[in-house]
Amino acid sequence: MLKQIVNRRLIHTAPRLPLEKSFRTNGIKGLMSAEQFKTAWVDYQDFLNRNLTLKTAETEYEARSPMAIAVSTAKKPNKAAIFHYASQAHNNHLFFQQLKDNNGPIDVESTIKPQLLTSIKNTFQSFENFKNEILLQADVLRGNGWVFLVEDQNKELRIVSCNNDGTPYFYGRNQTYDLNNVFEFNDYKKLMKQKEDINNGVKDYSLPLICINVWEHAYIIDYGVTGKAEYLEKLFDNIDWNVINTRVFSNIDM
């Protein structure tokens, strides 16, 4: 008797956020209305995963996570469409996963793991300077994109700005430079250095700790076309540092 073999395709779906039920009903207190949340997470994440499923069907990427797909396609220009949906899906999840309701003023520094807080202060001189710098980088980013606080293999912190669908995991696809705008000679030299590193197989071990969403659909419903700065200022007070603490490499059980 012949056995019937049933091929099952992997369907990429949006992961469930810990506070998603509340966010869908009430929005994110102090940051987003329920309508804005639906657009920026529910609808957009569904759009990304649906297209990622279509683009990866019957390919080697079909059963991989968005992060794994983004990392493995980052160096392959002919996989740009797959990279786009994978990178966007992963970045958007990182962003919404770290959000909580703003229930009033708290001592933020007391909620941050001492090692991480010390690293932030050593790098940026103070926590307030860090806040101002990462929000400034997000505010001056032209167009759409993402801004990350990353930790490298030397456990040093830096801010990485990524235009459009850039990823923090590979410097060659950070897309830090917007080639549609004025491009200075120093930027050109840095870009050539990146190309040299890629050709020499230099690894990138960046680990994103904080993700700032600077895509217009993340704020335009609630804040309008000129409300980016207001959105960013409120956003910082909705970051759940308990989530950020778990992203630090030193806190991973080995």
Render 64-132 in DSSP notation, one character per residue: S-HHHHHHHHTT-GGGHHHHHHHHHHHHHHHHHHTB----S---GGGGS-HHHHHHHHHHHSSHHHHHH
Q: Which residues pair with 161 in a beta bridge?
A: 147
pLDDT (tens digit per residue) in 5-28: 334 557 899 899 999 999 999 999
Reported as half-sphere exposure (CB side, CA atoms, 13 A), residue 177 has a value of 15
Q: What share of the chain is helix, strand, coil (3-state, %, to 5)?
A: 50, 10, 40
pLDDT-derived band of residue 206, with 50, 70 and 90 as boundaries? confident
3-state secondary structure 203-215: CCCCEEEEEEECC
Please, what are the domains in the chain? 19-247 (3.55.40.20)
Cα 232 from Cα 217, distance rounded (Å): 13
Q: Mention every residue, 6+ apart, whose C-beta is less than 8 A from residue 159.
A: 133, 134, 137, 147, 148, 149, 150
> Looking at residue 43, what DSSP letter applies?
I
For residue 111, give the amino acid letter. T
pLDDT (tens digit per residue) in 19-63: 999 999 999 999 999 999 999 999 999 999 999 999 999 999 999
Please give the backbone phi and psi of residue 220, each rounded to the nearest 5 degrees, phi first.
-65, -30
The pTM of the full predicted model, rounded to 2 decimals, is 0.87
Edge to edge, the sheet with strand 145-151 lists 157-163, 145-151, 207-213
